[in-house]
Chains A and B, each alone.
Chain A
C-alpha cells in the first residue's frame, strides 16, 4: 500500500545572496531540527552569490544530521573535479552529501568560459548524464577496503582494489581512478530535476532523487510512473529512486485562506509549481498527495527562506509529525539512510569478486 511509504522532505535555503556562513547555517540547523532529509542550495555561474558547494562544505562541521545538496553544474566544469569535490563534501560531512546536477544553457554562462558556445539542451543533458555516470564510476574506483596498511609488505593500499574507469564520453574522457578514496556513502546522492524531457531520461538513468514540478497529484504521479518505468528500462530497481514534487512556496500571509487553486493543487508560475497559502494548508496538500501515492515526498523552495522555512518547520512539518506522517528525528546518520537508500557496493568490487550487482 502506497500510504506506508515514508514521506521525504527537503528544502532549498538559497535566496537573495549572503556572503557569510551564519545565514545558511541558521537555515540548515532549522531544517535539521525539523528532521528534513536534506537542504539544497541552488547555483549557477551567473547567479549572484557564493559557490554553493563551498557554502555547504563550510556549514557541514556545524551541522550533524541534515543532508547537504548543492547544485553543481556539469557544462563548463571538469567532471573529475566535480566528482572529487562532491566526494570530499561527503567526507567532511560524514556521509551527508548529495549534488543536484544541472546544466548551463545560456550564452551568458558560456561567455564566462569562452571555451564553447551554448549548446542545445538535449546535448547538455546527455553530457550531464555522462558526468553523473563517470562520477559514480570514480566513487566506485576505490573499493571500500582498498586501504590495507600492510606493514609486512610495506603497502598502504592494495592496488588491485583501485580501478581505472577508462570513461570515453562524447565530449570528455577520464582515465581514473579517483584521487579521493571512496566516500562514506559509497556514492553521494545524485539529484536531478526530471520534469523536462531531456532531463528526465538522464534522471531516470542516473539520479537517486528526481524532482517533478507538477500542479496536480495526477501529473506528479504520471511523472513518477514515467521515471520509474524508464529507470527499469535501464536495468535499475525503481524502488531505489525517490521522486519529490518540487514546489515553490509562499507562506508570507499565514492567516490568509489558501489561494483559490489549492483545492485542485498549486499554481503554475515561471515554469514551476507555486503554492501560496498557510503552513497548515501546505501540510494538508502534502498529506493528500503523499497518501494518494503520487509522490515520495516534496522539495520545498521558500520564496523567502528566512521567513518561510521557519513556518515550514514549525508549522507544516510539526503538524505532519503530530499526525505521525513524518519522523521527528533522524534515525540514521547519512543522507542515504534518511532517504531509505542502500549504500551501493562498488561495481569494481562486485566484478572482481564475481558477485551479482
Chain B
C-alpha cells in the first residue's frame, strides 16, 4: 500500500476582521510584532508550510463612515515577513500584495529580497483590485475594469518572472527588455537569482478568470470552498485546467482557507463554536452584515427583531472597500425564507448564514475531517484562520498536528529548507 497523500498546512494572521474575537480576554495585540512572532513560531513548531498575511490598502467604509470592525489596522506584509525571517528558520512567508497598485520591477525586487533574506521562503499572494474606492489612495487610481485587472496581473507575474530569470543560475546578469500591453520596462535587475529561483506564487479568488489565471501561473490557489462536494468540484475543475498550460496536476496546490474550533469532545467543541459565533456576530456586526446585503442604513433595526420588510438596494454604495457577494435580492430572499422557517431574529439569521467554521470537534474529529478532505481530493491542504490572536493556533499545533502525524498524512519534521521543498514544488526551469 502506498503512503497516503501528504497534507499542506499554512497559518493566516487575519488581524481585526469580522471573524476575529478581539473581545476575548485571551486576545492580544493585533499589531505588536510580538503577536506575529508568537503565531509564526507556533506554526513553525507545527512544521507548517507557510505563514500567510493579507494586506490592507484602504480602511473599509460603511454608510459613509469608517467600518470600525473590519480590517481595522494591518502592517505592511513584506516588511513584517522580513522581520519574521529573523525569528523563524524554515517557515514559508507569504505576503499578499496587490498587482493593480504596484509596479513589476519594484515588487519583483522586494520579493526577491525576501527570498534571499529568508533563505528561500518567500511567497507572493497575487490579488487584484478594480475598486476605485481603494484606488483613491494611489497615484494611478482605480481605473482598471474587471477584465483588465487579470490581464494586468498575468502580465505582472510574467514580467516579474522575466526579471527573476534575467540572472542565469551561474550568476550572470543580463538586461531585460519588456514591452507589453501594461508594462514597458528596460534595464538590469539588481538582485541575483533568488534561492527558490522564483518566490512561490499564490492566487486567491474563485472567478473563472481567477481559476484560469491560477492554472496558468500560480503554484498555490487559496480558495473558500467549505464543503467536501464543493471542494471536490473545484479541485477537479482547477486541476483539469492545468494541462492546457503544459502543467501537471501536482504543480498547483489547492488550499482552502478554513476555520476550526476544538473541544475535548465533539459536544464541547460545538458549544465553543456556538459561543464564538455569538461573539463574532455581535449585535453591531449583525446589523453591519445585514446592511452589507441590503445596502441600506438599518441602524435603527433591533438585532434581536425580524428582518427588514423592505428589499435591498442593488445599486447601493453604502459598503465601500468590500465586494458585495452575489445578487442582494436573491440573498435577501434566502435569508427571509430561513428566518421564517426557523423563526430566527436578524442576529440568529446572520449567525446561521455566514458561518465560516469549517472544522469543529475534538482533535480526533478535526484531524479526521482534514484528512478526509485531502484523501478525497477536495484539497491539497489548508490555510488555517484562527479566531484568536496570537494564541489561536496553539491548541491546533499541540493537539491536532500530532494526530495528523500519527495518521501519516503530515510531516513530523521539515525535510527541506525552502518553501518550494515543503510544498513539493519543483524549482522553476530557468528560461533565459
Contact = CB atoms under 8 A, between A and B. Distances in A.
Interface of B: 16, 22-23, 31-33, 37, 56-59, 65-66, 68-69, 71-76, 78-80, 82-83, 85-87, 101-103, 105-106, 109-110, 112-114, 116-119, 136-139, 183-188, 190-192, 282-285
Given A45-B105, A51-B109, A111 B186 contact: yes
Contact of A155 (B69, B102, B191): B69
B106 A157 contact: no
Given A49-B190, A154-B284, 16 more contacts: A20-B117, A57-B83, A58-B86, A81-B102, A87-B76, A91-B33, A93-B83, A111-B185, A113-B106, A114-B184, A114-B186, A149-B23, A154-B282, A156-B72, A179-B71, A181-B73
B76 A45 contact: no
A177 B83 contact: no
Contacts of B33: 61, 91-92, 94
8 cross-chain pairs, A with B, having the tightest CB-CB distances, nearest first: A154-B284, A179-B56, A92-B83, A57-B82, A114-B184, A88-B79, A175-B136, A54-B113
Interface string A101-112: 000000010011
A181 B31 contact: yes
B114 to A, nearest CB: 6
B140 to A, nearest CB: 8
Nearest to A151: B23
A89 B79 CA distance: 6
Q: Which of A58, A79, A85, A180 has the most CB of B within 10 A?
A: A58
Interface of A: 19-21, 45-51, 53-55, 57-62, 76-81, 84-85, 87-89, 91-94, 108, 111-115, 142, 147, 149, 151, 153-159, 162, 171-177, 179-181
Given A88-B80, A156-B69, A181-B73, A54 B110 contact: yes
A78 B411 CA distance: 41
A53 B78 CA distance: 10
A147 B139 CA distance: 29
25 contacts: A19-B191, A19-B192, A50-B112, A50-B191, A54-B79, A55-B82, A55-B117, A61-B37, A78-B138, A80-B57, A80-B138, A81-B76, A91-B33, A91-B75, A93-B83, A108-B187, A112-B105, A113-B105, A142-B73, A151-B23, A154-B285, A155-B68, A171-B139, A174-B136, A177-B59
A115 B192 contact: no
Contacts of B112: 50
Contacts, number: 171
B191 A159 contact: no
B78 A54 contact: yes
Given A151-B23, A177-B66, A48 B136 contact: no
A73 to B, nearest CB: 10
B199 to A, nearest CB: 13
Contact of A159 (B37, B65, B86, B102): B65
Contacts of B285: 154
Contacts of A174: 136-138
Contacts of A19: 116, 191-192
Contact of A114 (B16, B37, B65, B183): B183
A179 B282 contact: no
A334 to B, nearest CB: 14
A159 B66 contact: yes
A281 to B, nearest CB: 36
A175 B137 contact: yes
A21 B68 contact: no
B31 to A, nearest CB: 5
B114 A54 contact: yes
Contacts of A177: 59, 66
Contacts of A88: 75-76, 79-80
Contacts of B114: 54
